Amino acid sequence: MSTPNPTESLDSERERTRTGLSKAALKQDFLDNLFYIQGRFREVATPHDLYMAAAFTTRDRLLKHWVESAQVFKTSHARTVCYLSAEYLLGPHLACNLVNLGITEAAREAGEELGLDLDAILEEEEEPGLGNGGLGRLAACFMESLSTCRIPAIGYGIRYEFGIFDQAIEDGWQVEKTDNWLRNGNPWEIPRPKIRFSVGYGGYTESYRDDTGRSRVCWRPAQVINGMAYDTPILGYGTANANLLRLWKAEAPTSFDFQAFNTGDYYGAVYANIQAETISKVLYPNDEPEAGKELRLKQQYFFVSCSMQDMIRLHLNTVGPLESFADKFVAQLNDTHPALAVAELMRLLLDEHVMSWEQSWDITHRTFCYTNHTLLPEALETWSVSLFERLLPRHLEIVYEINRRFLDEVRMRFLGDEARVWRMSLIAEGGERRIRMANLAVVGSRAVNGVAELHSELVKATLFKDFAELWPERFHNVTNGVTPRRFMVVANPRLAQLITKTCGHDDWILDLERVRELEAHVDDAGLLEDWRAVKRAAKQDLATWMQQAAGVRLDPESLFDVQAKRFHEYKRQHLKVLHIIRCYQRIKQGQSQDLVPRAFIFGGKAAPGYFMAKLIIKLINAVGEVVNNDPQVNGWIRVAFMPDFNVKNGQRLYPAADLSEQISLAGKEASGTGNMKFSMNGALTIGTLDGANVEIREAVGAENFFLFGMTAEEALQRQMSGYRPWEFYQSDAELKSDIDLINSGLFSHGDTQLFRPLTDNLVNHDPFMVLADYRAYLDCQKTVSETYRDTPRWTRMSILNVARIGRFSSDRAIREYAEHIWKVTPKRIEPAHHSQS
Ligand code: AZC
């Protein structure tokens, strides 16, 4: 799939001018957009006006690729991937689009000639935070790689009016602020008022006989709302292929209920409108489902129904009869949030397109594939049958029928094994009856995958053991990846330039395996020096930013030790805190000989209702307050909390990290993707054998990775044989003194109770076995410090981490999906050769 960037063939200035990619064309269009769209002259434009004009100038250039891609995909009936995801954590668009268009330098120079700084313009962009964390960001990386790999694709999701909250830190606590990302307009989306679908809720179903005498069902919903499409083009790198991200906004079917209006109920009519719009109003800020939230179920059904109707519309408009639907489309369920699509496609085929059950099921089952992202039992979605019935009565009937047929199959295979039937049922019985969305997703899909080798094995061995016994061929692994365009080229341009200079080409951006060519230079003194300078500059940038954003001074000479990810007990940010407290105590006791100066940097949000996670954030800031104000330890350690960790801020963090903390309890982190982003930027990892850490370690070499802690198997064994955390607390004097120091009130102005819920939980329950891994973690951190002191060795390890990270490009992941799961081939779009105005 390696082909030159379309812009490379356009080397003559005339050609670039003709296609709008020259500096002169950019300048002219920028000024035009500033005038005609923003209504400003250069002299009076605000920074936001400048950003908008730059965004429109860039978008114009995307559109050409996009319109052409759509045209080619349509006329060639190209097999298309539909990625169904309730979340897309997109991050800022502008810088990535410039890179993918190949016009970053031209834009920078055009800006300079106008007296503008491109970096300042990029800073203006408010990112669409339509996701919580890993799962949403993965969807965004996959959209970019789908285009880069030239796979025809549509991403379907929800256009939340409010994305993930903005995090502020006040008095050390997380405070949530609404994310009004659309406030100043979104230049990247194109509203499609003609692409609207009705979505029903509630009501009842009726049976009737059709003309042929066959029994049919009709659903009479009590409420009907509309979903309207908003499209965002997603361009690939080094290609003219551009795919479509189609997000649905909920609205009332008509702006007024005229009957209510005529009878004088103006308020009632407007209220109905508002109620409908609530459905796409806000992203649920949890990375695990909140039980029983009716609005959440409504959201899921809303976007899934619009998307399935849209796919059917596209199929009927282009290919024709629905019999071939599963040949035209493959739909990937990103976790169980869109699993209702299975029931919805069945309903549309059965009720609206009057197909038989057998044919509808055959199509449905051949259409869907499902990715699981977690083994944590509390994160597995279930919906109460009563709520489901109230909102989606027809879908409940369909789920029951799918279940009836499925369980017959199970009974036939495993005669007399009713316990198995009970476990595999789509309905959990005993207590309140609930629908198991994961089971629905597995039954309704022809392929199921986990997101790292270890995770996929555990999926088969634990979560879906019964299903893997019934359908072993259905289970796959596709290890996650991340896009090197955003997380290397855009986030870390200095490093990108150094790699390009060292390798003598920039083909690695498209074929990340080729960063391996760095290995040949790993002993060049010049490279080592340049490598250190690049890292040092990134650390300085972060230090400058952190000083301004968090008021903490960081010394770029110190080791930047970073943990950035959602806050969750299984990710064990509190294990890191114990390490900080240990360092603090050692320095105070004059035992700093094993230490190196370190900046401990955290970033991440906690779900607003997750008390323990929020308390851990408070503890970090509380420890920071003491440590950072203690002159005795100041030259040694600093603690900094980056407020509002999001994609944009992540891009500041990854390049500056020396050490990447991936310290989840083994068996709990499905994959992790931050681990890849850090490693790509030359950070060394300290980590457990969990998720993709296992494969990263294999790839970069065990000698270039700091491994510690129990394996998943050992953790399970220990858990089963009765884990008693207090024994660790009692028997390890340092551990005890670290926990006791928290309880002493030192970090809470004398309040000895504030952190009790956390410390008591650790000592008495410790569900994620922090205490069991504490000693191993400290020992490993000692090795980290020793290694860091040997600068050439550390630098060499850093280079090798980058050189061997190729496998973790999301391009590789997408190719594996395409080949093994989706059975779809690339479709090349030729660069357009007509001029644009
Ligand atoms: C995450 C997993 O926790 C993480 O390990 C994985 O890398 C990522 O998905 C992508 O596969 N899961 C979530 O983010 N889950 C939700 C519901 O947000």
CATH number at residue 335: 3.40.50.2000
- Asked whether 578 and 774 are in contact (CB, 8 A), the reply is yes
Q: Which domain holds residue 157?
A: 77-92+127-345+369-385
Which residue has the CA at smallest separation from atom 18 of ligand 1? 287
What DSSP character marks residue 256? S
Quick one: average pLDDT of 442-453? Answer: 98
Token pair 């962009």 in the structure block, residue: 125
Q: How far is the CA of 186 from the centre of ligand 1 (A)?
A: 27
Quick check: 81 pLDDT over 90? yes
Question: 684 in a domain, yes or no?
Answer: yes
Q: How far is the CA of 373 from the centre of ligand 1 (A)?
A: 5
Quick check: 666 pLDDT over 50? yes
Ligand 1 atom having least distance to the Cα of 137: 10
Q: How far is the CA of 548 from the centre of ligand 1 (A)?
A: 31
Adjacency order of strands within the sheet including 598-603: 637-642, 598-603, 559-564, 659-662, 684-687, 706-707
Ligand 1 atom having least distance to the Cα of 566: 14
Sorted by sequence, the CB contacts under 8 Å of residue 452 that are 6+ apart come out as 477, 479, 480, 670, 671, 672, 691, 692, 694, 695
Q: 395 catalytic, yes or no? A: no
Quick one: average pLDDT of 715-728? Answer: 97
Say what the pLDDT of residue 344 is: 98
Say what the pLDDT of residue 256 is: 54
Question: 812 in a domain, yes or no?
Answer: no
Of residues 539, 571, 804, 812, which has the active-site annotation? 571
Quick one: average pLDDT of 338-363? Answer: 98
Of residues 246, 460, 485, 565, which has the active-site annotation? 565
- Asked whether 586 and 595 are in contact (CB, 8 A), the reply is yes
Q: How far is the CA of 670 from the centre of ligand 1 (A)?
A: 7
Sorted by sequence, the CB contacts under 8 Å of residue 721 that are 6+ apart come out as none
Q: 465 catalytic, yes or no? A: no
Quick check: 241 pLDDT over 50? yes
| pLDDT band (50, 70, 90) for residue 273 | confident
Quick one: average pLDDT of 777-786? Answer: 98
Q: 677 catalytic, yes or no? A: yes
Question: 111 in a domain, yes or no?
Answer: no
Say what the pLDDT of residue 261 is: 59
Question: 35 in a domain, yes or no?
Answer: no
Question: 626 in a domain, yes or no?
Answer: yes
| pLDDT band (50, 70, 90) for residue 15 | low
Nearest one of 356, 328, 360 to 342, comparing CA atoms: 360
Query: What does DSSP say about strands 166-170 and 153-158: parallel, antiparallel, or unpaired?
Result: unpaired
Q: How far is the CA of 288 from the centre of ligand 1 (A)?
A: 10
CA angle 376, 379, 380 (to 5 degrees): 95
Q: How far is the CA of 329 from the centre of ligand 1 (A)?
A: 25
pLDDT digits (tens, 9 = 90+) for 112-150: 999 999 999 999 999 999 999 999 999 999 999 999 999
- Asked whether 337 and 300 are in contact (CB, 8 A), the reply is yes
Question: 493 in a domain, yes or no?
Answer: no
Say what the pLDDT of residue 5 is: 47
Q: How far is the CA of 134 from the centre of ligand 1 (A)?
A: 4
Task: Among 85, 135, 164, name the best residue to mutate to test ligand 1's pocket (greatest count of ligand atoms within 8 A of Cβ).
Answer: 135
Ligand 1 atom having least distance to the Cα of 691: 5
Q: Determine whether 837 is exposed, middle or buried from the number of CB atoms within 10 Å of its CB (0-12, 13-18, 19+).
A: exposed
Averaged pLDDT score across all residues of the chain: 95
Quick check: 258 pLDDT over 60? no
- Alpha carbon distances (Å) from 381 to 249, 377, 638, 734, 776: 24, 9, 40, 40, 35
Question: 53 in a domain, yes or no?
Answer: no
Q: What is the pTM of this model?
A: 0.96
Quick check: 14 pLDDT over 90? no
The C-alpha atoms of residue 48 and residue 434 are separated, in whole angstroms, by 49
Quick one: average pLDDT of 715-723? Answer: 97
User: 361, 385, 409: which is the final residue of a domain?
Assistant: 385
Question: 514 in a domain, yes or no?
Answer: no
User: 357, 385, 413: which is the final residue of a domain?
Assistant: 385
| pLDDT band (50, 70, 90) for residue 30 | very high
Quick check: 679 pLDDT over 80? yes
Q: Which residues line ligand 1 (CB under 6 A)?
A: 132-135, 138, 287-288, 335, 373-374, 451, 480, 669-673, 691
The C-alpha atoms of residue 361 and residue 345 are separated, in whole angstroms, by 9
Task: Among 132, 288, 374, name the best residue to mutate to test ligand 1's pocket (greatest count of ligand atoms within 8 A of Cβ).
Answer: 374
What region, left, alpha or beta, does residue 172 occupy, with left being phi > 0 and alpha being psi -120 to 50 degrees?
left
Of residues 373, 485, 586, 648, which has the active-site annotation? 373
**Number of folded domains in the chain?**
2
- How many of the other CB atoms lie within 10 Å of CB of 765? 11
Q: Determine whether 811 is exposed, middle or buried from the number of CB atoms within 10 Å of its CB (0-12, 13-18, 19+).
A: buried
Buried b (16+ CB within 10 A) or exposed e, 114-123: eebebeebbe
Say what the pLDDT of residue 3 is: 39
Q: Above pLDDT 70, what percent of the chain?
A: 95
The C-alpha atoms of residue 813 and residue 831 are separated, in whole angstroms, by 25
Nearest one of 603, 579, 589, 809 to 706, comparing CA atoms: 579
Handedness of CA 67, 70, 73, 76 (dihedral sign): negative
| pLDDT band (50, 70, 90) for residue 581 | very high
| pLDDT band (50, 70, 90) for residue 17 | low
Of residues 150, 677, 804, 815, which has the active-site annotation? 677
Q: 521 catalytic, yes or no? A: no
The C-alpha atoms of residue 241 and residue 90 are separated, in whole angstroms, by 19
Ligand 1 atom having least distance to the Cα of 451: 11
- How many of the other CB atoms lie within 10 Å of CB of 324? 13
Q: Is 174 helix (H, G, I), strand (E, B) or coil?
A: strand
Buried b (16+ CB within 10 A) or exposed e, 244-256: bbbbbbbbbeeee
Q: 137 catalytic, yes or no? A: no
Query: What does DSSP say about strands 368-371 and 329-334: parallel, antiparallel, or unpaired?
Result: parallel
Sorted by sequence, the CB contacts under 8 Å of residue 448 that are 6+ apart come out as 369, 370, 371, 372, 441, 442, 459, 464, 467, 474, 475, 476
pLDDT digits (tens, 9 = 90+) for 597-607: 999 999 999 99
Q: How far is the CA of 586 from the centre of ligand 1 (A)?
A: 36
Q: Is 687 helix (H, G, I), strand (E, B) or coil?
A: strand
- H or E element that contains 600: strand 598-603
User: 354, 385, 416: which is the final residue of a domain?
Assistant: 385
Of residues 336, 673, 685, 787, which has the active-site annotation? 673
Quick check: 7 pLDDT over 50? no
Ligand 1 atom having least distance to the Cα of 133: 14
CA angle 318, 322, 323 (to 5 degrees): 125
CA angle 225, 344, 290 (to 5 degrees): 75
Of residues 64, 460, 476, 566, which has the active-site annotation? 566
Q: 673 catalytic, yes or no? A: yes
Task: Among 373, 463, 664, 668, name the best residue to mutate to test ligand 1's pocket (greatest count of ligand atoms within 8 A of Cβ).
Answer: 373
